[in-house]
């Protein structure tokens, strides 16, 4: 199963913002909504194409209410997410999935009553290992592969 993960902006409750809008609510109606981190929503889809399609359906809301959208495609990686832009480029054949791991955005995960994602750090992978997250002391991280243009932005 391919997972989609939406990260809300600091100034809104993402779940409420999406479910209070009829079009977004309809697009999400067939999915079970999880909340793995504070102010996030995660759903499972059947494929990379379905994940990209869902993100496209929600685009108007994503621009307004999210900081980021990720896709976890097991055929590419079991642990590293793809940014929305990278997932779309892989889906359309613009980027080979096996050549998508150089540029990363690593989020720290603060644990507590409700785990939350904290500021991302952009890194370039050299070899097989991922550089350590050093923006703050965290026990876990979440790695997201990004396109070269996202990395340089």
Average pLDDT, stretch 99-128?
92
Domain that holds residue 93: 2-152
- Name the region of 64 (left: φ>0; alpha: ψ -120 to 50; beta: rest): alpha
Considering only CA atoms, which of 91, 106, 101 is closest in space to residue 48? 91
| Residue pLDDT, tens place only, 50-69 | 999 999 999 999 999 999 99
Per the structure, the count of domains in the chain is: 1
Q: Are strands 103-110 and 116-124 parallel, antiparallel or unpaired?
A: antiparallel
Q: Quick: pLDDT tens for 64-87.
A: 999 999 999 999 999 999 999 999
Please tell me the chain's helix, strand, coil percentages from 3-state DSSP, rounded to the nearest 5: 30, 30, 40
The stretch 98-111 carries a mean pLDDT of 93
């Amino acid at each position: 199963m391919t997972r989609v993960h939406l990260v809300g902006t600091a100034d809104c409750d993402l779940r409420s913002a999406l479910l209070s809008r009829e079009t977004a609510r309809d697009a999400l109606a067939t999915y079970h909504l999880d909340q793995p981190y504070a102010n996030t929503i995660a759903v499972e889809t059947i494929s990379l194409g379905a994940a990209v399609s869902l993100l496209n359906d929600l685009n108007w809301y994503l621009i307004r209410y999210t900081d980021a959208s990720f896709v976890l495609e097991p055929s590419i990686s079991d642990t590293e997410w793809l940014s929305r832009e990278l997932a779309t480029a892989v889906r359309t054949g613009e980027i080979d999935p096996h050549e998508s791991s150089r540029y990363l955005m690593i989020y720290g995960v603060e644990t507590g009553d409700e785990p939350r994602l904290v500021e991302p750090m952009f890194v370039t992978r050299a070899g097989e290992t991922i550089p350590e997250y050093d923006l703050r002391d965290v026990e876990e991280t979440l790695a997201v592969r990004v396109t070269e243009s996202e990395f340089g932005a």
